A and B are shown apart, each in its own frame.
Chain A
Amino acid sequence: MPGFGIIKGLKETARNFFGSYHDPGRFVTIQYPEEKREHHENYRSFPFLVYDGDPVKGLRCVSCKICEKECPPQCIYIVPEQDGSGKLLKFPRIFDIDVSVCMGCQICVEVCPFDSIKMDQEFEVSTADRFGGLILNRSKLAKSNEYYHQIRPAEATAVDAQLAAERERQQAKAAAAKSPAPAAAATREKKP
């Protein structure tokens, strides 16, 4: 019977019409600013820098520039701190991320050997200032390890354990060889 397929289709839309009133599986809309989806722990938005203790001195970043090199859209800009004699210190003087360029790919997090850069979950970063407002500098990027624990408990715990193990190994090594800083040496090797 011609027309039957159309009637079947009408039945289907009627079912969805009524279903949207009582079936939450059909009516999935979230009223965004009032309600928000819960993000999974793995959710990522833009990078941030982890610090332990002091927001400036406690930054884990040693300004090795690996992330700057690997970043696909080249949105990271790092200038290491210098001491009075012009010697480079293992600390970033400038660490800028242009969020308007960053595509949140997480490559910087993966390549970082010091677990110093991690992915944030803050996604409401819109601003009226198109250029200045979207460049995150060192102070805006720095977030505490507690915050990291708060957004990604499982991953942060694992990272902490790994860092602690690393530190222990280094201390053991240092105790054995009395050599001051093997980690820095390793970094310098990778830099050319």
Chain B
Amino acid sequence: MVDFAQPENAFKPGLPGAAEPACRVVPKYSDQGEREGDWLEISMGPQHPSTHGVFRMDLVLEGETVIRLKPVFGYLHRNHEKIAEQTTYLSSMPYTDRLDYFCSMTNNWAYALAVEKLAGLQVPERAEYIRIITAELTRLQNHACLMGFLMQDLGAMGTPLMYAFREREKILDLFEALSGARMMCNYMRFGGCRIDLPPGWLEQTRRLVADFPRFLDEFEALLTGNEIVMARLQGVGALSRELAINAGISGPMLRASGVNYDIRKVDQYGIYNRFEFRVPLGAHGDCYDRFMLRLLEMRESLRILEPALKDIPSGPIIDARAKLRNFKPRPGEAYGRIEAPKGELGFYLVSDGSANPYRYRVRPPSLINLTILEDLCLGQKVADVVIILGSVDIVLGEVDR
């Protein structure tokens, strides 16, 4: 048995004892070297029901309290960045769908934004509107499902998740009508969008946006006032403002800690400066703030969608200079970032003037938000680990790439 009190044996995942599913415990020693009791070492995942994919956490528990946690990921690594450096710019576009497979539209946008900067392409106004509409729809369905998953982790028998999926299906239907696929949309192109909106699509979307507040009200009635939800989420996994900034956290998680940083406001990419929307901020940075902030952001998304659907102009949807075949941007580098539903999603590209990017790098919000998991979980109960992980909102496709 490994003596964990010795510094050279400080907790390492993958020790012989870690993989053994026996009822095995780690002896715990006091400062004086006396044996005080036992720690329980648990390997949570990769086949655990609530790790949101293939993700593993090596936990050391004292009773049910977490005293060490090591996130282990990479089970879903598929060499995305190297593959992108071997293929043309366009061929990487469908792969970006598979990063955060919940939000392919925003992934497409971020990548397209980076390439447009690199190649100096102008996006026509109609395409900008379409991009904003699809991005906000993506945000709606991502946040709704996240809250459903979080409640599933809380043990709510999947009821909120089913309601969220019911609404998500309607949005996915719209995506299917627009791009041909429900999740792997592959819709944006450098300098615009792939095809124009099908007839009647705007009407359908308007109806959906008009109906959506009803769902949000129901969801709120079901969950936000619920004493059990409040007791489970409030004060759990609090993230301080300083740590959030230092660790590079972004998205709703950062704003839940009270930092006013929304790239839609900061960068004003696309045409976000034309829309009135507010940025909700949390005060505690705990799971409940993260949960509520997403709910409030959904309402703000609706405030963006309504005028966007009304004002969308007609015109071309792609820059006339954009080339599909033989696309070779001039040498240089570019970083395109957007406010994806999970946080700051950025693509860094270096071009050497050839058809393939010389360097291709993704800044995945899920991964960077996940890095502070141990800080959030220390001292919490083992049941809270699952919730904290859920409230971080990760998609393993993006974490592992």
Contact A42 B88 (CB under 8 A): no
Residues of A within 8 A of B223 (CB): 9
Name the A residues within 8 Å of B224 (CB-CB): 5
Cβ contact within 8 Å between B163 and A44: no
Contacts of B94 in A (CB 8 A): 72, 103, 105, 107
A8 to B92, CA, bound (A): 48
CB within 8 A of A40: which of B90, B177, B227? B177
Chain B residues with Cβ below 8 Å from A9 are 221-223, 225-226
Is A33 interfacial (CB-CB < 8 Å)? Answer: no
Bound-state CA distance A13–B222 (Å) is: 8
Chain A residue with Cβ nearest B162: A16
User: Judging by beta carbons under 8 Å apart, are A2 and B166 in contact?
Assistant: no
Q: Is the CB of A190 within 8 A of B325?
A: yes
Docked complex Cα distance between A105 and B194 (Å): 12
Residues in B neighbouring A4, C-beta threshold 8 A: 225
Task: Report Cα–Cα, A136/B262, bound state, in Å.
Answer: 47
- Produce 1/0 per residue, B155-172, CB < 8 A to A: 000010001001001000
Whether B194 lies near A110 (C-beta < 8 A) is yes
Whether B178 is near chain A, meaning CB under 8 Å from some CB there, is yes
Interface residue? B87 (CB, 8 A): yes
Given the contacts A9-B223, A103-B184, A110 and B159 also touching, CB distance less than 8 Å? no
| Contact in complex: A41, B227 (CB < 8 Å) | no
Give Cα distance in the complex from A169 to B222, angstroms. 64
Partner of B176, one of A6, A16, A40: A40
Please encode chain B, from 262 to 288, with 1 for each CB lying within 8 Å of some chain A CB and 0 for all others: 000000000000000000000000000
Are A70 and B198 within 8 A (Cβ)?
Answer: no
Q: How many A-B residue pairs have CB under 8 A?
A: 90
Q: How far is the CA of A71 from the CA of B90 in the complex (A)?
A: 10
- Residues B91 and A70 in contact, CB atoms below 8 Å apart: yes
Task: Determine the distance from Cα of A87 to Cα of B184 in the docked complex, in whole angstroms.
Answer: 40
Query: Number of B interface residues, CB 8 Å?
Result: 39
- Knowing A5-B226, A8-B221, A9-B221 are in contact, say whether A104-B91 is a contact too (CB < 8 A): no
Residues of chain A contacted by B226 (CB below 8 angstroms): 5-6, 8-9
Q: Is B391 an interface residue (CB 8 A)?
A: no
B residues 114-147 near A (Cβ < 8 Å) are none
Instruction: Say whether A101 faces chain B, with CB atoms less than 8 Å apart.
Output: no
0/1 interface trace, chain A 80-118, chain B, CB 8 Å (1 if under)? 000000000000000000000001111100110100000
Q: Are A6 and B228 in contact (CB under 8 A)?
A: yes
B195 within 8 A of A: yes
Contacts of A71 in B (CB 8 A): 91
Chain A residues contacting B178 (CB-CB under 8 Å) are 42
Which B residue sits closest to A10, measured CB to CB? B222
Least CB distance from A65 to B in Å reads 12
Docked Cα-Cα span, A104 to B186, in Å, equals 10
Task: Provide the residues of chain A in CB contact with B221, threshold 8 Å.
Answer: 8-9, 11-12
Q: Which of A3, A6, A43 touches B180 (beta carbons < 8 Å)?
A: A43
Given known A12-B221, A43-B176, A190-B325, contact A106–B186 (CB-CB < 8 A): yes
Task: Find residues 16-47 in chain A having any chain B CB closer than 8 Å to their own CB.
Answer: 16, 26, 28, 39-44
A-chain residues with CB within 8 Å of residue B195 when the two chains form the complex = 42
A135 within 8 A of B: no
Identify which of residues 176-230 in chain B touch chain A, using a CB-to-CB cut-off of 8 Å: 176-181, 184, 186, 194-195, 198, 218, 221-230
Residue A119, interface by CB 8 Å: yes
Give the distance in Å from the alpha carbon of A111 to the alpha carbon of B169 in the complex: 30
Whole-angstrom distance between the alpha carbons of A3 and B198 in the complex?
48
A105, B184: Cβ atoms under 8 Å? Answer: yes
For residue B169, which residues in chain A have a CB less than 8 angstroms away from its CB?
28
Task: Tell me if A66 is interfacial: C-beta within 8 Å of chain B.
Answer: yes
Contact between A66 and B325, CB atoms less than 8 A apart: yes
Chain B residues whose CB sits within 8 angstroms of the CB of A15 once the complex forms = 218
Q: In whole angstroms, what is the CA distance A106 to B97 when docked?
A: 13
Bound-complex Cα distance A71 to B95 (A): 11
Where the two chains meet, the residues of A that have a C-beta atom closer than 8 Å to any C-beta of B are 2-6, 8-9, 11-13, 15-16, 26, 28, 39-44, 66, 70-72, 103-107, 110-111, 113, 119, 190
Q: Interface of B with A (CB < 8 Å)?
A: 87-88, 90-95, 97, 159, 163, 166, 169, 173, 176-181, 184, 186, 194-195, 198, 218, 221-230, 324-326
